[in-house]
Structures are given as C-alpha cells and as structure tokens.
Chains A and B, each alone.
Chain A
Amino acid sequence: MTITHDECRDSVAGGSPVDAVTEAHLAGCSGCRAFAAAVADLDRRAAAVAPKSAPRGLADRVVAALPLDASPARPTWPGRTRAVVAVAAAVLLVAGVASSVVLRNREDAPRTVLLAAASHLEEEGASEVIVDAVTDVEIPANGRDPDFSVAPPEVRDHMAEQWNLIMAELDRRLAELDQRIDEMLSRVPGAPPPPPRERFRPTPSEGPAETPPAAPEAASLSIRIRAAGAVDPAVGLQLEGAVVAVPGSIEVRESTAAFAIDAARQGSAALRAPDGTWVETQAGPGPLGRVLVDPRALPSILRAAEGAVLARSTVLVGDGERGRRYTFRVPASAVGGGTEPWTGSAVIDDARRVRQLSLSPRPSGQPAPTRTRLTVDIGGRAALDASRSPAQVGARAVSDTSSPFAAVSPAVRAAVEGSTR
C-alpha cells in the first residue's frame, strides 16, 4: 500500500503517529522528509514563543475591575434587617460600648460600622485615602488637547498636567524615531533630503507642513512604523514603537523602541465637607488619577455614606489581621464631583480603623475603564526602483486618523507618498 505526497504531508502535519506506510513513503521521498523536518522545526520554534507568566499585577487589576456588587447571584440586604440592626447598633454606640459585635458577620449594619469608624478616626486621625478618579477622556483627531472638562473637578487640572507631561515626552521620543528614519533614508542613493520636521502637535492654524520630496529612482525601501500606546491609570502611558526598514541596496537596520513613561507625579485633590467647606488636601505621590487626600476628610466621607451599604467580603489587612470591605455611596455634595453619587469602598479592621478607602465618580457597578488606548499605525512599502515588481509600487500609508499621532513621522509619509506618484 502506498500513499501520495499530500496524504503523507497531511498525516505528518496533523500530528498523527507515523505509521508504517507513512514511514515507508518518507524513507523514499526527500521532499516529504524535508517537509517533516520543517514541521518538527516549526513545533520547536512554536514551543519557544509560548507566553510566560501574566504581567505582574494582572490578577490584582482583574479583581479591582470586577463589579463585585453587580452579580445577579449576589445576596442583597433585606431592608428590614438593615434597619433593625442599625437601630440596635446605634443604641450600642450611644451607650458607649465598643460594638465589636457589629463586625463579626455579614448580618451587621455596615453603615453603622462606617459611622463607628468615622468616630474612631476623629480620635486617631490617620489612614490612607485613595481617590480613584479614572475618567474616559476623548482624544480628538485634530491634534488638539483632550477636553478634560468631563473629569471630576478635583483631578481635572492634574490630568491636564499629566497629559502635557506625557505629550512632551512623546515629542522627545518621536524626534528620536525621526532621527533614525533620517539616518536610514540618508543611505538610500538619490534619496531626497528629509523634509522639515513638524512638531508633534501642530497648531491648528498652521496645519502640518509637508514638502513632498522628489521621487528617488534607484532603491527599494520598505518602512513601517507601528506604535501602540495606552494610558493606564496604574502605570501611566506606555508606548511601544517599532521601525522596520528593509532597503534593497543599503545596510539593513532595525530599531525597536519600547519605553514607558512614568506618570506618577505629585497629585492633589479636594474634598468638600457636608457643611460646604473645602477640606484642604494633601499632595502626595501617586499615579495618574489616583491621589492621596487629607485623612481629616475621612470622617466626613464616612458619615456621608448613604444608600445600600453592603458588607462584601472578608479581607486580610496585614499581619494576619482580618477586616471587612464595604461599598457605599457618597452624595456628590460630600465630594464636590458632579451631580451623581460617588461610589466608595472602605476596608475596616476589627478595631474599627479604616485601613483603606477609595472613592470613584463612577456609578456603582460600572466597570472601571482601565485605559485609554492610543494607536498609531503608519505602514508603507515604497518601491522606488522601477525594476522592481509592480506589486511593490502599491505603496500606501495607513494611519489611524482617530489619533493625534497621525501627524507623526513626516519623513516616512513623504517617502511613501513620493513613491506613489
């Protein structure tokens, strides 16, 4: 019994055990043997490209983004139980009895716990507060600055400042890329001098200044620039860019730029107390959108908690101590951000100390936007040599016009566009 080349290769590529018939064919067919060797080599290379562990902190980010109170399977608090326990706990407080009982199980009244924690904090007055002010901001395509008016007022200036810092850094990095491109172009015989560079963000009145170069005649060049960026509130802006050039008659160079911009800067925020006065805030280090606020604001926030306060989970708060995480709502008047209530989360230990408090302008249950994506993709293949195949003359520039980065790399665009005329 014999098999065809196709049957043999299908058997090999399909991963079936090599039977006697296939083995016999392979022994007598160098083409199929070469194919089998190529498959084996492919598998070896494939195993080597398997991704390793997940990025550090991914599980934490996944957990943080879960709307833990939005599950349909989540038990809700019966209003009656809540009311009864609240009254009972309030009596305990009035009597001056430390209500550790309140913290023992999920049937307790979280709002009362928050109030107790607030009182406790007034005495001890120290805890960390994180305001999670992540906001979706649209990035206009015309090179103008984003409109930060949608951001909570407490962090609006902070975000705008971060944006400017990021753009300045981006300018610097893109200038480096331009320089590398110019170096490559300079090696192309007959290539035009690089056009004058424009700034990353041209002023709207000026518009991009482009001087199409004369089409070179004696080289083949393929350039691709691809960059993908993300504004991640946890780490700031990350941008990876790659420049790949495949010239036909010049030295081959490849350059990959990968960098992260640390957006952790000094932050500031303000919280408005229920009496309308603004609590002075504390500036401190923190990544974009996360700022430390004055611990003195804590009692005001916790007292302002309203609505369905829910004991969500038991958590470890360090050194084996256990605490409870609560979610609640805070009226906008307490935090000065918009008209909708803010969502809060507090971790309170058995000694009624607030170990962590976070506030967000997002409605409860709405997933936190984890990043604003920025994409730049300018690709082109320029066949500058008439002797090359016609297929290579179909150069085109691909750019994501939804991004202000479309204005990047005039040298590449000029080279590509020049070749298509």
Chain B
Amino acid sequence: MDDQLLARRARGGDDVAFETLVRRHTDTVWRFARMMAPDDHAAEEIVQDTFLKAYRGLGSYRGESAITTWLYAICRRTALDRGRRRSTVVVPLSAARATPARDAAADDRLVLDAAIAGLPDDEREAFVLSAVLGYSQEEAAALVGIPASTMRSRMSRARTRLVAVLSTDDEEDAR
C-alpha cells in the first residue's frame, strides 16, 4: 500500500495506517534528525516530536508532496526549534583538539561531527542532506523548499568552511 493511500486512511481515523507510516519512515527521519542533533537522545526526541506533529497535522496534509518531504519539513523545523532552545553551553570538541586516538575511525567521526555541528544551520542542513545522506542537490533543495542555486551556494560555503576547519585541526595534530 503506498504512502498516499496510507495517509488518506490515517486522516480518516485508521490508526493502523498511521502506524505503518511511522514504521516505514522512522529510519529516514532518524538519519536526518541524528545529524542535526547533538546526540542520540536528542535525535530520538526529535523523531518522536516529528511523528507526533505529523499525527496532529494529518488534517493539513493534502497529498501534494511526498510523505517523506512532508515528514522531513516537520523534522527540520523541530530540529531547528530545538537547537534554538538549547541552553546548555557545550564546549566544541575542536577546542579540545582531538588527539591521536586508539580508534582512528571513531576519532575521525568525532572530529567531523564536531566540525559539522559548528556550521551555521542552513549550511549544516545543506551539507547533511547532500554529502552525508546522499540526496542530490535538486532533491535537497526540494526538501528544504529553496531554489537549487541557493542549495548550491550553501553547499559551497559549507564545504569551504569544513575544509578550512579540518585542515587547521590536521595541522595542529601534526605539531
């Protein structure tokens, strides 16, 4: 059964249909939420909030876009709102200057995660969608609701910034 039919049924009160949508798209929403959140716990809360809002907003979903696009838009707003509300001061990992680690792969991930987390919201979103999650720039632009040219500009700024940050880290490590 396709998403649109499930959504129509869910809108009509069929909870099993909505459960099916949740189970079908949890992984997709999770992957994006995890990249936008500081840790697994925050990402899980974003996923939960996303589906809760989707459930409450079923009446406003008219099927004009794909379910994934609709869910993504909700998840994006949720993640950004949550980011603005964060009050705990977190010292950037790059400030600790990562050191030779026993697990090089895990260390590389930590460094890159910290660098991505340090990007402005719009650039982080562009980079996560295209470079991490593998959407084409056109798809990413459609998901965010911006022109492809804007997405391209954001990607360019994000990549340039990340290359600069990571090369600085590498130089410091080498010293």
Contact = CB atoms under 8 A, between A and B. Distances in A.
A367 B157 CA distance: 40
B39 interface: yes
B130 A15 contact: yes
A51 interface: yes
A367 B52 contact: yes
B3 to A, nearest CB: 15
B134 A15 contact: no
B89 A73 contact: no
B84 interface: no
A49 B109 contact: yes
SS class of chain B's interface: helix, strand, loop or mixed?
A: helix
A10 interface: yes
A62 interface: yes
B16 A49 contact: no
A68 interface: yes
Interface in A198-225: 222, 224
B146 interface: no
Contacts of A252: 99-100
A62 B130 CA distance: 27
Interface string A70-89: 11111100000000000000
Contacts of B116: 46, 49
B35 A70 contact: no
Interface string B100-126: 111001011100110010000000000
B83 interface: no
B30 A50 contact: no
Contacts of B101: 254
A244 B108 CA distance: 15
A63 B108 contact: no
B96 A49 contact: no
Contacts of B81: none
Interface stretch (A35-43, A293-301, A354-362): A35-43
A16 interface: yes
Interface of A: 9-10, 13-16, 35, 38-39, 42-43, 45-51, 53-55, 58-59, 61-63, 65-68, 70-75, 222, 224, 226, 228, 230, 238, 240, 244, 246, 252, 254, 312-315, 367, 370-371, 373, 375, 377, 379-381, 398, 400
Interface of B: 11-16, 18-19, 22-23, 26-27, 29-31, 34-35, 39-41, 43-45, 47-48, 51-52, 55-56, 58-59, 88-91, 93, 95-102, 105, 107-109, 112-113, 116, 127, 130-134, 137, 152-153, 155-160, 162-163, 166-167
